[in-house]
């Protein structure tokens, strides 16, 4: 029997799944092709070390998924998705054994910041109060804002470099270090324009919704999305790596959850050369070097407060974080890299056998780097948690090349689908954003606005555009 398809999605990452769901909710017959044997892309969990230990292969901490304007509209709890909110969003330890915690309350957080307390409240409170308004305008393509006043107030700060904003706003070196840790999620040097935006958004989310983790791991997000999609009548075919558009069956439209480099390989010769040239100019960011551990106990943090947060930022001082995030852009890795750590099993007992724990961490390295930085990462953990190495039962390492082999969207280990530099925030990957030079062929990955993270908003906006243009 011939079953006609309205839309094909290539790639079952969070954005591919989001696009598929939005199209299926509009009554379209949708089929997804996924290269891996499992759905999820950058939101996957697997048994990477020892039996009984569940590790997040890529994403681990999910304020963006939890507060996504699209995901929150979906009945994902019905499909088993539960979030756990640790008491604090982030812990930032210092060498003297103290730590600053990002707490839900702006006031309580500010009280740890000495002379910067009032300045921190003045900066953050309005963003926290206006998050509902801001999220609509920030988490999508450039368009006429619905809330221009709130957006303008956010924009004047967000457009700045994190380094510039923090130096002009705060006097205390500890406050600057703590906030630089939030901004360093951008993966780009903190003296670049627009890096302040990452710290402000992630800090605001920490106050507004916390930084939750899904019970059972990131796979729970992907499994809930894919189960819901199947219940809407959608079809998922795994284990098929699409290499040429001509191999796909006929459909009204195709949405690619891939990055520009792959799009050129798959569709390339059908694009006008000028469009391919634009895609080739798209810039990828640094890679990451990722590690997972099975531990014989919780991490022995010097600062006991670190046990209150799933996410721990190991960067020490402001200057060290600046240097660490500058280095990968110049082909280096800092001796003391800024390390993002997640300790989910402290809050989710499904991740490890009783008494044991899992640990997840990465640092930024030059794109495609083959340098083994596992010792530098472990040294950073040991610096703030002496005795850590004695607890290691097993470790698992993923270099940029191994990450890319796991998921071909992770070009050179870039986890954001392309550098999130100012030029590529809205003209992402080109000024056409979700459209391409071919009618009915779209791109829906994190290489479109609003960029990296598990939130599905790239897929959602691409699907809305496809519904308007290909099915009107």
Residues that bind ligand FAD (CB under 6 A): 10-16, 33-36, 41-43, 58-62, 64, 241-242, 257-258, 262, 288, 290, 362, 403, 407-410, 415-417, 445-446, 452-454, 458
Q: Which lies closer to ligand FAD via its Cβ, residue 45 or residue 446?
A: 446
How far apart CA 55 and CA 170 sit, in angstroms, is 37
Cβ(453)–Cβ(446) below 8 Å: yes
Report the first-to-last Cα separation within the chain, whole angstroms.
27
Q: Which residues is 288 bridged to in the sheet?
A: 364
Q: ∠ CA(365), CA(305), CA(84), 5° rounding?
A: 75
Least distance (Å) between residue 323 CB and ligand FAD: 22
Closer residue to ligand FAD (CB): 62 or 396: 62
- Give least dist CB 65 to ligand FAD, A: 6
Q: How far is 30 from 35, CA to CA, in rounded Å? A: 17
The enclosing H or E element of 109 equals: helix 106-110
Nearer CB in complex with ligand FAD: 123/444? 444
DSSP-derived 3-state class of residue 453 = coil
Query: Are 460 and 22 contacting, i.e. CB atoms less than 8 angstroms apart?
Result: yes
Which residue from 289, 389, 292 is spatially nearest to 333, judged by alpha carbons? 289
What are the DSSP E strand ranges found in 193-283?
213-214, 235-238, 251-256
Residue 127 CB, nearest approach to ligand FAD (Å):
19
User: Shortest Cβ distance from residue 311 to ligand FAD (Å)?
Assistant: 8
Q: Which is nearer to ligand FAD, 68 or 175 (CB)?
A: 68
**Closer residue to ligand FAD, CB minimum distance, 247 or 296:** 247
Q: Which is nearer to ligand FAD, 100 or 264 (CB)?
A: 264
Q: How far apart are CA 405 and CA 153, in angstroms?
A: 42
The residue (of 36 and 161) whose beta carbon lies closer to ligand FAD is 36
Are the CB atoms for 449 and 430 separated by under 8 Å?
no
Q: How far is the CB of 98 from ligand FAD (least distance, A)?
A: 25
| Least spacing, CB of residue 386 vs ligand FAD, in Å | 26
How many other C-beta atoms are found inside a 10 Å radius of the C-beta of residue 247?
10
Nearer to ligand FAD, 117 or 240 (CB): 240
**What CA–CA distance (Å, rounded) separates 314 from 361?**
10
**CB-based closest residue to ligand FAD:** 13
Closest distance to ligand FAD from the beta carbon of 106 (Å): 22
User: Nearest distance from residue 409's CB to ligand FAD, in Å?
Assistant: 4
Sequence-ordered list of residues with C-beta below 8 angstroms from that of 304, at least 6 positions apart, any chain: none
């Amino acid at each position: 029997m011939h079953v006609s398809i309205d839309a094909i999605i290539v790639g079952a990452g969070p954005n591919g799944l989001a696009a598929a769901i939005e199209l299926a909710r509009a009554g379209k017959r949708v089929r997804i092709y996924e290269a891996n044997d499992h759905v999820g892309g950058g939101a996957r969990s697997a048994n990477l070390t020892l039996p009984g230990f569940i590790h997040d292969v890529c994403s681990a901490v999910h304020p963006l998924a939890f507060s996504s304007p699209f995901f929150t509209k979906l009945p994902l709890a019905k499909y088993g998705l539960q979030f756990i909110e640790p008491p604090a969003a982030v812990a930032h330890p210092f060498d003297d054994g103290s730590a600053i915690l990002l707490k839900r309350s702006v006031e309580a957080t500010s009280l740890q910041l000495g002379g910067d307390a009032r300045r921190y409240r003045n900066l953050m409170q309005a963003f926290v109060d206006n998050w509902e308004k801001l999220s609509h305008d920030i988490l999508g393509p450039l368009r006429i804002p619905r809330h221009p006043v709130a957006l303008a107030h956010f924009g004047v700060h967000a457009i700045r470099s994190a380094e510039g904003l923090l130096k002009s706003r705060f006097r205390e070196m500890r406050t600057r270090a703590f906030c630089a840790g939030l901004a360093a999620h951008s993966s780009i040097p903190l003296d670049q324009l627009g890096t302040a935006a990452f710290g402000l958004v992630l800090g605001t989310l920490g106050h507004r919704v916390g930084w939750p983790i899904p019970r059972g791991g990131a796979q729970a997000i992907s499994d809930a999305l894919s189960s819901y999609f199947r219940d809407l009548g959608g079809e998922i075919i795994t284990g098929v790596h699409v290499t040429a558009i001509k191999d796909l069956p006929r459909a009204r439209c195709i949405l690619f959850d891939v990055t520009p480099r792959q799009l050129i390989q798959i569709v390339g010769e059908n694009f006008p050369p000028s469009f391919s040239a634009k895609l080739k100019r798209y810039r990828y960011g640094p890679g990451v070097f990722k590690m997972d551990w099975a531990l014989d106990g919780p991490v022995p943090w010097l600062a006991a407060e670190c046990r209150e947060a799933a996410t721990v930022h190991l960067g020490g001082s402001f200057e060290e974080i600046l240097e660490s995030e500058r280095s990968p852009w110049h082909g280096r890795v800092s001796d003391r890299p800024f390390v993002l750590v997640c300790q989910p099993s402290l809050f989710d007992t499904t991740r490890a056998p009783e008494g044991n724990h899992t640990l997840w961490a990465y640092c930024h390295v030059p794109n495609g780097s083959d340098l083994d930085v596992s010792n530098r990462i472990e040294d950073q953990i040991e610096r703030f948690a002496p005795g850590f190495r004695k607890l290691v039962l097993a470790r698992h390492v993923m270099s940029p090349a191994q990450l890319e082999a796991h998921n071909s969207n992770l070009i050179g280990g870039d986890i954001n689908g392309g550098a999130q530099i100012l030029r590529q925030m809205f003209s992402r990957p080109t000024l056409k954003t979700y459209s391409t030079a071919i009618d009915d062929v779209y791109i829906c990955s994190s290489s479109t606005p609003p960029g990296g993270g598990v939130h599905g908003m790239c897929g959602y906006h691409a699907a809305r555009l496809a519904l308007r243009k290909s099915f009107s």
